[in-house]
A and B are shown apart, each in its own frame.
Chain A
């Protein structure tokens, strides 16, 4: 599976949009981009995934560049409860394994 690179940390103000970047320059054509998050001392939680089209659900939006070498997870109105480590993972999907990198720590400030 392709490797991903994320900044170590970022913060944003409560109520503002949080834009979390991820680089995956070696992604191959059949690999999806997945985002999970882990709130302190809890198990990870699935957020969203996409192949090449932008995706949106009740939690977030995923913007994938046209060349698919990078993506951005957008939390439109961040709350204090969104403070967590966010993992960007690239994998084929079917029968693949979720391999977690270091992720990005998002701190939402009041």
Chain B
């Protein structure tokens, strides 16, 4: 099946700094990419949807100026958490879709962010 990678797999940063997470579709071109956030013992929450070359569409309650998404190519999307705070500590998961069907959506392994 299609493979999605994320880098880094885990990161620790200090409060007030910014951190960038990369999401790559390794063997396919993704029409759409998604970013999710998951707090401990909770379900995944969709943060934003992005299409290559377009501005991301953010879900209600997600600050677009804090979570910057750049979908530079059909195989790469980045999420930058700006001015990180301890409450931003979470598991961030990206997903990429090869076509229109939901079953054609593949998830990355996730990035564990800890803000100290």
Is B67 an interface position by the 8 A CB rule? no
Check: A80 CB closer than 8 A to any chain B CB.
no
Chain B residue nearest in CB terms to A85: B43
Count how many chain B residues have C-beta atoms less than 8 Å from C-beta atoms of the other chain: 22
Residues of B within 8 A of A42 (CB): 109-110
A99 at the interface (CB under 8 A from B): yes
Q: Contact: A98 with B110, CB < 8 Å?
A: no
Within 8 A of B (CB), among A63-110: 87, 89, 91, 93-103
Among A44, A97, A103, contact of B49 (Cβ-Cβ < 8 Å): A97
Q: Which label, helix, strand, loop or mixed, suits the secondary structure of the B interface?
A: strand
In whole angstroms, how far apart are the Cα atoms of A44 and B4 in the complex? 11
Asked if A44 meets B44 with Cβ closer than 8 Å, knowing A97-B34, A98-B105, the reply is yes
Considering only residues 24-68 of chain B, those with a C-beta below 8 Å from chain A are 34, 36, 43-46, 49
Q: Which residues of A contact B46 (CB under 8 A)?
A: 97-99
Contact A93 B102 (CB under 8 A): yes
Mind listing 18 A-B residue pairs with CB under 8 Å?
A34-B102, A41-B110, A42-B110, A43-B4, A43-B107, A43-B109, A43-B110, A44-B107, A46-B105, A49-B103, A89-B102, A93-B101, A95-B100, A98-B46, A98-B105, A99-B46, A100-B45, A103-B43
